[in-house]
Structures are given as C-alpha cells and as structure tokens.
C-alpha cells in the first residue's frame, strides 16, 4: 500500500481553496502544488501550506514526477484540457462535477482513462453526506420497495448566479445544480435514465445580461419503470435562509423517503438574518473540516493507496453528462430526448 498520495490542484477559487485545506488535514495526502492563471491567487493559497509550489500553468505540475493526482477545480467549461493532459501525463484525476460539458468531451475522457490505465473520479461529494448515505442504504435494503416516483429540487439564491460565478452564461441550472441530484438518484435506485422531457424559462437572468435559463424542470423515465422530476433554478431572493433550497423525495411501493436539505438541526437568529447553517457537507470540528466533502476526498486518497478505482468514475461522469445534455436538447427541440440517441 502506498504511504502518501501527492496532489496538485488546478484552480485556486472557492473549491480549490477548500480542497487544499482538506488535503492538508488528511494524514495520507500531501498537497504539493497549486496552479491558477491568476498567479497572485495561486501564490496566496500555496503560501498557506509550507512547501507547496505555486504556478500559473498546470503543465508545470504535470512535470513533477512525484505527483499522483491532478485535482481539476476549474470552471465547468474548462475541465476537459487539464483532465486529458493529466491522464496523458500518467496522473490520476479528480475533477469537479460535471466531468465535462459535452458528450463528445466526456466520451474522450472515458476512452483516454481506459487507454492510459489512470483513474478519473468525478467529485459528486453528496454521496458521502450522512443523509444521502442513509437513503442509499434504505433503498438498497428494500425498506420502501421499488421506486415509483422521485422529485428532486435544488434551487439557489440569485446571488449564486450573479455574484458567486462570473461564467453563469456558459452553463445551466440543470448542469450546475441538478447533476448532483441526478447522480444521487441513479445511485439510490441503481438504474439509468431512459428519456427526458424538459422545459426551461428565461427572463430574470437575461435581463441582467446572463443568457441562461432561470429555471428548468426535467421529467424523466428511468429504465426500471419509475418516473421522476429534477427541478433547478437560481433566481430565489437573497433573503432566503439558505443559499440552496432543496429536497429529494422518493415514493416507493411500500413507503417514502424525504430528505430535507434545508433544516439540518440548527437555526441561528442574529440582527442581520435568520439562517439554517449547512452541516452535513462540510463543517469544522476540532479544527478540521468534516462531512461529505472531506469524506469524498478521503475516499479518493484511500482508494488510490489500495490501488483501487475511486468512485464515481469516468463512466458514471459520462452518464450524467448525457442526461444534462438531453435536458438542454429537450428544451431546444420541445420534445422528449432518448439517452440512447446521444
């Protein structure tokens, strides 16, 4: 078993910054490099961790023989090149979701991963949060019987689309938000999606010069016969008590599961706001970050130490890209799209 997995991160933004700290806290991981086209951001983040190299070109990280993993934390539309370059350089990859923004690019990543024998893990972190892990166990154990209908909602404050990101027009709420839920539901049900019929609405964001849908609803049929809806939007008022207003409900033949993703057991009222802090994905305990996100990165590290393929892999990433692509095609064509067409 390999003692330590050495990691370089591409992207010193929100995700890269958080993940750098998590790797620094994992005993079997060693962060050795940060790359960002904004050199000052790369240097500032690297300076927090002694011995970490800061560069503006991720190819410099790939030239480091000790590097085991390239963690790609760039905006979604910039995933393909570092992922493929990393694989060809003989490095394993962790890439933020979605793996790619086109089916063509996702297919290419899958093939190069096979050709090189290097693993790709897509960072669908929600699988490691306690409520979702428990849902998976309950569904697998048959507690609610076979699924009949699923509803998954993930709606964001408008802040996310207008202030947190500067590339909102290059994606959609389905790709950015619903892909988490699509991954979870397919994992819960152990099935695939057969067809998609989706509708979208534009107006609020377009008026601000951001050409993407305000909201999308996608009705799907699963291969096991169940049906489901994936809702996403990012025009909720900023006065909402959480950045994301969301839930997942699965109705089965014998029962139902409702995952409330707003109320996680804590309510905080101050003169400024009344909030429901998020706890299950990432929170600090005893000076370390704990929760679903750290567990996902720990899974990557420990799988590679055992020379095993970390999950979810590139094949799963391709599956999700096909569904999100089908959603956008359905909106455009105003008809159902079958996944097998893609």
The verdict on whether omega for the bond into residue 260 sits within 30 degrees of 0, i.e. cis, is: no
Alpha helices (H) in 271-341, listed in sequence order: 292-305, 314-333
Question: Looking at residue 1, what is its pLDDT?
Answer: 82
DSSP 8-state symbol, 151: E
Alpha carbon distance 68, 121 (integer Å): 13
Alpha carbon distance 232, 81 (integer Å): 28
Question: Looking at residue 280, what is its pLDDT?
Answer: 94
Alpha carbon distance 14, 17 (integer Å): 5
Query: Which residue do the tokens 């962790």 mark?
Result: 94
CA distances from 259 to 83, 136, 148, 188, 214 (A): 33, 11, 16, 12, 24
Question: Looking at residue 14, what is its pLDDT?
Answer: 94
Pull the structure tokens for residue 20: 């750098």
DSSP 8-state symbol, 187: H
Predicted model pTM: 0.96
Q: Which residues contact 195 (CB under 8 A, 6 or more apart)?
A: 220, 221, 326, 336, 337, 338, 339
Chunked mean pLDDT (size 10), the chain, 342 residues: 95 96 98 98 97 98 98 97 98 98 98 98 97 98 98 97 96 97 98 98 98 98 98 97 95 97 92 93 96 97 97 98 98 98 94
Question: Looking at residue 310, what is its pLDDT?
Answer: 97
* Domains of the chain by start residue, with CATH: 5-124+289-311 (3.40.50.720), 127-282+320-341 (3.30.360.10)
């Amino acid at each position: 078993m390999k003692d330590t997995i050495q990691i370089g991160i591409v992207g010193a933004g929100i995700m890269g910054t958080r993940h750098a700290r998590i790797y620094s806290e994992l005993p079997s991981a060693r962060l050795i490099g940060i790359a960002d086209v904004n050199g000052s951001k790369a240097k500032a983040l690297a300076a927090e961790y002694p011995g970490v190299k800061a560069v503006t070109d991720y190819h410099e990280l790939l030239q480091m023989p000790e590097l085991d993993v390239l963690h790609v934390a760039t905006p979604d539309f910039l995933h393909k090149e570092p992922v493929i370059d990393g694989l060809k350089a003989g490095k394993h990859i962790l890439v933020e979701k979605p793996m790619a923004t086109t089916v063509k690019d996702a297919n290419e990543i899958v093939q190069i991963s096979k050709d090189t024998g290097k693993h790709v893990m897509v960072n669908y972190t929600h699988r490691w949060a306690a409520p979702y892990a428990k849902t998976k166990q309950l569904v697998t154990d048959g507690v609610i019987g076979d699924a009949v209908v699923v509803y998954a909602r993930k709606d964001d404050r408008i802040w996310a689309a207008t202030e947190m990101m500067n590339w909102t027009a290059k994606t959609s709420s389905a790709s950015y938000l619903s892909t988490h839920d699509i991954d979870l539901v397919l994992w819960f049900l152990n099935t695939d999606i057969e067809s998609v019929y989706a509708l979208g609405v534009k107006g609020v964001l377009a008026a601000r010069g951001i050409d993407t849908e305000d909201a999308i609803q996608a009705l799907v049929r699963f291969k096991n016969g169940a049906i489901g809806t994936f809702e996403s939007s990012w025009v909720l008022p900023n006065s909402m008590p959480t950045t994301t207003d969301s839930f997942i409900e699965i109705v089965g033949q014998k029962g139902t599961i409702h995952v409330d993703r707003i109320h996680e057991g804590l309510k905080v009222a101050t003169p400024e706001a009344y909030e429901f802090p998020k706890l299950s994905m990432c929170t600090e305990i005893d000076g370390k970050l704990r929760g679903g996100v750290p567990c996902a990165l720990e899974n990557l590290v420990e799988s590679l130490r055992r020379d095993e393929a970390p999950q979810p892999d590139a094949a799963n990433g391709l599956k999700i890209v096909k569904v999100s692509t089908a959603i956008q095609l359905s909106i455009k064509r105003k008809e159902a799209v079958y996944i097998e067409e893609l």
